[in-house]
Structure formats: structure tokens, C-alpha cells
Amino acid sequence: MSGERIIAYVLLNVMGGKEYEVVEKIKNIEGVTEVLVVYGEYDIVARIVANNMKTLDRTVTRIRETEGVLRSITLLGLA
């Protein structure tokens, strides 16, 4: 994986009625390139671009520690 960008999508469940507050908190986290409120099983989808797994881990951890986030699932890909 060296030299390749890692693209990750983080699917979030958040506290009811807190979707837009959580979006505002996570959209400025380093590595987060897009954040959308969605409907269905998940409440928010965040797109992350990272150069390595350590950076990705740091970004995902910050998202997961955000007040209002209940649960997350991270999907990985390579660009």
C-alpha cells in the first residue's frame, strides 16, 4: 500500500437530532474531505483521504470521539 492514497468512508450513527451538529464538528478534522447527512440505516457518511494507515487511524479516532457519535463503520479503499 505504500505510495497509494487511502480513501475511507466512515458510516456513522449519531444521537437523534444531532446529525447537523456532528457534521459541523467533524467536517474540519484533518483528512475529512466530505461529510453528508444521509437517510437509512446510517445518519452520516464522511469521506477521508489519507496517505497511510497511521494518519487514517488518527482521523477515524477523532471522528469516533466526537460528541454525539454512537457507532461507526469504516470502509477502506485505494485510489
**Residue 38: inside a domain, yes or no?**
yes
Backbone angles phi, psi at 25, to 5 degrees: -75, -35
> Does some domain include residue 1?
no
34 domain-assigned: yes
Q: How many domains does the chain have?
A: 1
Looking up residue 63, the CATH number of its domain turns out to be 3.30.70.920
Q: What is the full per-residue pLDDT of the chain (79 aa) written as tens digits?
A: 456 899 999 999 999 999 999 999 999 999 999 999 999 999 999 999 999 999 999 999 999 999 999 999 999 987 6
User: HSE on the CB side for 25, CA within 13 Å?
Assistant: 15
Please report, for the chain, how many H helices and E strands are present, in that order.
2, 4
Range of the domain at 24: 6-78
In a domain, 19, yes or no: yes
Q: Is residue 29 part of a domain?
A: yes
